[in-house]
Homo-oligomer: A and B are copies of this chain.
Amino acid sequence: MTESDTTKSQTLAAFLGLRGLIVDGTLAPGARVSEPLIVERFGVSRTPARAALAQLAEEGLLAKREKSGYEVKSYTEKDVFQAIEIRGILEGMAARLAADRDVPAATLQKMDSVVLELDDVVGRLTTDSEQTEYVHLNNEFHRLLLDASDSEMLAMSLDRIKALPFGSPNAFVESLTLNHGAVKKVLIMAQEQHRAIVECIRAGNATRAERLAHEHSFCAARYLQLLRAKDEPIPWIAEKAKRASRK
């Protein structure tokens, strides 16, 4: 274990390791996850295993079972769409708060420059590294929006949603081919919205800022639709919740 001891703490190792197993589908939704399983899988003791389980449950990837242990939580497509809209609603409020207050010039400038860089990336969009850059810049934009709102409570609520594998603004972008026609249209729209959001915040147009940011979240929903059209399997989305198990 002296090799790639990249991980600071045992707890983090167990946390990230288990998270990986869940996100990539190795552990299917509904699968039971016990402390000894973590201990065995990652070579940590029960204490950090326990901590990792608690954290994953807090993030919503695991659910406490009735009597003992945890199981991998399953989400339906409906859950995903609703999570996306909740993010949208909260980001809408963030945009409104931002438009209603004096956002520091530095923040607005940073938003401007991120929008400019995004313009550039969206204009090109050929290589994989540009895709990575898009994701990064997009994240940056949403971070700045939250910054501009100066609301710790919103940050807290959004954190919860964004911790879900389908809650981040980039959740599905990463799995798509960005220069594909249909995807590109959405990217262009999203980018127009980015620009308009900054404009409205600067102009103090709170109502439109709120609605724009809310609407903007549906881009993520559209990405998911497009991803679905490709028959890409998404491990942690259950095909229909618990509709009758008739067979």
Contacts and interface: CB of A to CB of B under 8 A. Distances in A.
A230 to B, nearest CB: 25
A78 to B, nearest CB: 8
Nearest to A152: B79
Contact of A154 (B54, B58, B82): B82
Measured as residues with beta carbon below 8 angstroms from the partner, the interface class of chain A is: 20 to 34
A161 B156 CA distance: 9
A60 to B, nearest CB: 7
A41 interface: no
A153 interface: yes
B153 A79 contact: yes
A153 B73 CA distance: 13
Contact of A157 (B93, B151, B160): B160
Interface in A77-136: 79, 82-83, 85-86, 89-90, 93, 97
Oligomer: number of copies = 2
Q: Give the dominant DSSP class at A's interface.
A: helix
A233 B89 CA distance: 33
A51 interface: yes
Contacts of A83: 153
Given A54-B54, A58-B58, A60-B156, A151 B82 contact: yes
In this complex, which of A54, A152, A154, A160 has the most chain B Cβ atoms within 10 angstroms of its Cβ? A152
9 contacts: A58-B58, A79-B153, A82-B151, A82-B152, A85-B93, A86-B90, A89-B90, A153-B161, A160-B160
Interface of A: 47, 51, 54, 58, 60, 79, 82-83, 85-86, 89-90, 93, 97, 151-154, 156-157, 160-161
5 closest A-B pairs by CB: A82-B153, A83-B153, A58-B58, A79-B153, A82-B151
